[in-house]
């Protein structure tokens, strides 16, 4: 940069000018909370992130990761499933940067840091040929516990009920257990019947229900499509709007989990996922946005 004064040229090195600018800035705004004048553009973020856990969160995390890496091409994000139990364990032992859970953490879980990503309605589904359109929560509990075994006992056809459930360790199953099955008068858990067909993922469960006209199961609202029939519960249809308003009775949280307060690239990704703009993507995918 060149300045002219009294017919003499004075050269001021660009580095010296930059140092002067930053120094003046720190004097004018001490501890003001104003971001630094020079920041790294999002497109210059680089590195890798690993995430694993809830299969309910998995397809949503994949879409959010795809958008984040599109904005930041030097970043690689690996998304895996495995279930909520895997997400909790992996985040706690440092196997992954981020775990995913589709239920509240309990006192027996490690003290991880929770980041609310979305909420999700759990839908009770049947084969499309089933004439029923809804059940009460009590009827659902009685069916899944084995107390009711024929569809005629809840207004349907004279046909055996085949219960389909998620396996142990599934966040969806744990949430269903807490929100639907509950406890009996003595405080003992009302368990899902042992004769149920247990599946390892939302997608696998949906395929079983689709192939069995007498079946009933439950899955994430985000996995719901026209291939199966979703039943209303206590007269409330399982929609994103009803789940967000609190009128639909079977709703659970979806979390990202970290071992401690995240920094750098992991923090940037979590902040991205919780942003208002990205929450619109979450709602478009059938989940319940938190903003």
The stretch 102-113 carries a mean pLDDT of 94
CB 127 within 8 A of CB 162: no
Q: Tell me, yes or no, whether 217 and 138 share the same domain.
A: yes
Give me the CATH number covering residue 241. Answer: 3.40.190.10
Structure tokens at 24: 């003046």
Give the pLDDT confidence score for residue 281 in this predicted structure: 85
Q: Tell me, yes or no, whether 258 and 241 share the same domain.
A: no
Q: Tell me, yes or no, whether 97 and 79 share the same domain.
A: yes
Closest CA relative to residue 78, chosen from 54, 57, 61: 61
Q: Tell me, yes or no, whether 241 and 158 share the same domain.
A: yes
Q: By residue range, what is the domain housing residue 127?
A: 121-252
Residue spans of alpha helices (H) in 201-275: 202-210, 240-245, 264-274
The yes-or-no verdict on residue 283 having pLDDT over 60 is: yes
Mode of pairing for the β-strands spanning 197-199 and 251-258: unpaired
CB 51 within 8 A of CB 78: yes
What's the domain count of the chain? Answer: 2
The yes-or-no verdict on residue 4 having pLDDT over 50 is: no
pLDDT tens, residue by residue, 218-275: 998 888 999 999 999 999 999 988 988 889 999 999 999 999 999 999 999 999 999 9
User: How close are the terminal C-alpha atoms of the chain, in Å?
Assistant: 48
Closest CA relative to residue 252, chosen from 135, 192, 166, 185: 166
Q: Tell me, yes or no, whether 126 and 208 share the same domain.
A: yes
pLDDT tens, residue by residue, 32-73: 333 333 334 555 799 999 999 998 899 899 999 999 999 999
Q: Tell me, yes or no, whether 109 and 137 share the same domain.
A: no
**Percent of all residues in the chain with a pLDDT value above 70, rounded to a whole number:** 85
């Amino acid at each position: 940069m060149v300045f002219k004064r009294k017919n003499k040229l004075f050269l001021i090195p660009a580095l010296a000018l930059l140092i002067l600018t930053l120094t003046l800035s720190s004097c004018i705004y001490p501890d003001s909370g104003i971001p630094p004048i020079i920041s790294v553009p999002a497109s210059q973020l680089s590195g890798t992130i690993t995430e694993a856990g809830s299969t309910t969160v998995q397809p949503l995390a994949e879409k959010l990761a795809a958008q984040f890496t599109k904005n930041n091409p030097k970043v690689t994000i690996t998304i895996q499933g495995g279930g909520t139990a895997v997400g909790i364990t992996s985040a706690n032992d440092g196997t992954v940067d981020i775990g995913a859970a589709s239920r509240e953490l309990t006192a027996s879980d490690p003290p991880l840091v929770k980041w609310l990503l979305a909420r999700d309605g759990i839908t009770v589904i049947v084969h499309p040929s089933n004439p029923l359109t809804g059940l009460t929560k009590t009827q659902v509990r009685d069916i899944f516990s084995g107390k009711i075994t024929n569809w005629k006992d809840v207004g349907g056809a004279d046909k055996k009920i085949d219960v389909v459930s998620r396996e142990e360790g599934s966040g969806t199953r744990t949430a269903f257990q807490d929100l639907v099955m509950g406890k009996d008068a003595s405080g003992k858990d009302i368990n899902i019947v042992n004769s149920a067909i247990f599946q390892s993922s939302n997608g696998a469960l949906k395929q079983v229900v689709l192939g069995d006209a007498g079946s009933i199961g439950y899955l994430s609202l985000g996995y719901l499509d026209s291939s199966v029939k979703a039943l209303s519960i206590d007269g409330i249809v399982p929609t994103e709007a009803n789940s967000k308003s609190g009128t639909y009775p079977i709703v659970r949280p979806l979390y990202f989990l970290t071992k401690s307060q995240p920094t750098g690239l992991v923090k940037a990704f979590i902040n991205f996922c919780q942003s208002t703009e990205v929450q619109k993507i979450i709602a478009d995918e059938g989940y319940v946005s938190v903003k």
